[in-house]
Amino acid sequence: MIGPLRSRLLDLVMGHPALVELRRRTLARAGGLVLELGVGTGRNLPLYRPPVARVLAIDPDRAHLSRARTRAAHASVPVGLVAATAEALPFPDHAIEAAVSTWCLCSIPDVERALAELHRVLRPGAPYAFVEHGLCPEPGIARWQHRLTPIWRRIAGGCRLDRPIASLIARAGFVVERLETGKLMPGPRLAAWTYLGLARAREA
């Protein structure tokens, strides 16, 4: 699909009103210099408020970034948009004070590498606030998530339905301090099983 159309579609899907409260709850846990992974079309950008001092937001998709640029221009805090992948973050070690990801760990090809990179750039003890969809603990649903992921990936921009979000984050050197899971958004549990939480980067 061509860039602007793909981007418009993503913007429509991610603009669902039911997601706004989950975004707000996630962003409220960030402060200082914040790194947002996979910013997409910038749906979070209008929601950042102090104590967030500045947002650095990355995404590899230039069409999404171009749409995010308009939202960045009207944000309440300064925003820098960077074309980059989460697997190779263009920032020095321990330079970032907080991190945010919203519905993007599902789409990052090498999520373990991305989380290791996030851990590298975060200051020890820094918060990482996330809201993600992923693997459901109910075996019947999980089975379907595994079965459908190969097809779903092709039609949904690389999105996997079956990532065990909390364990991936913990294995990358974070302590998961708070975690709420459940069907927190509309849709079947296959795609709507949500992990909303707060992790902290452990000392390496």
Ligand X SMILES: C[S@@+](CC[C@H](N)C(=O)[O-])C[C@H]1O[C@@H](n2cnc3c(N)ncnc32)[C@H](O)[C@@H]1O
Q: Exactly one of 45, 56, 86, 136 binds ligand X (CB under 6 A); which one?
A: 86
**3-state secondary structure (DSSP) of residue 142:** helix
Task: Specify the residue, 110 or 140, whose C-beta has the smaller distance to ligand X.
Answer: 110
Minimum CB distance to ligand X, residue 203 (Å): 25
64 binds ligand X (CB under 6 A): yes
Q: Please, what's the b/e burial string for 170-179 (b: 16 or more CB within 10 A of its CB; e: otherwise)? A: bebbbebeee
For residue 46, count CB atoms less than 10 angstroms from its CB and return exposed for 0-12, middle for 13-18, buried for 19 or more: middle
User: Is 60 exposed, middle or buried, given 0-12, 13-18 or 19+ CB atoms closer than 10 A?
Assistant: middle
Query: Binding segment for ligand X among 45-53, 69-77, 80-88, 144-152 (CB under 6 A)?
Result: 80-88
The least distance separating ligand X from the CB of residue 6, rounded to whole angstroms, comes to 9
Residue list 22-61, contact with ligand X (CB under 6 A)? 37-40, 43-44, 59-61
Identify which of residues 18 and 175 has a Cβ nearer to ligand X in the complex: 18
Smallest separation, CB 137 to ligand X (Å):
22
3-state SS, residue 181 = strand
Do residues 79 and 58 lie in contact, with contact meaning Cβ atoms separated by under 8 Å? no
For ligand X, which residue of 26, 85, 149, 194 counts as binding (CB under 6 A)?
Answer: 85
According to the binding rule CB under 6 A, does residue 192 interact with ligand X? no
Q: Which of residues 90-149 bind ligand X (CB under 6 A)?
A: 102-104, 107-109
Residue nearest to ligand X (CB): 40
Give Cβ neighbours of residue 47 (< 8 Å, ≥ 6 apart): 20, 23, 24, 27
**CA 151, CA 160: separation in Å to the nearest integer?**
9
Q: How many CB atoms within 10 Å of residue 65? A: 22
> Which residues are near ligand X by CB under 6 A?
10, 14, 37-40, 43-44, 59-61, 64, 85-87, 102-104, 107-109
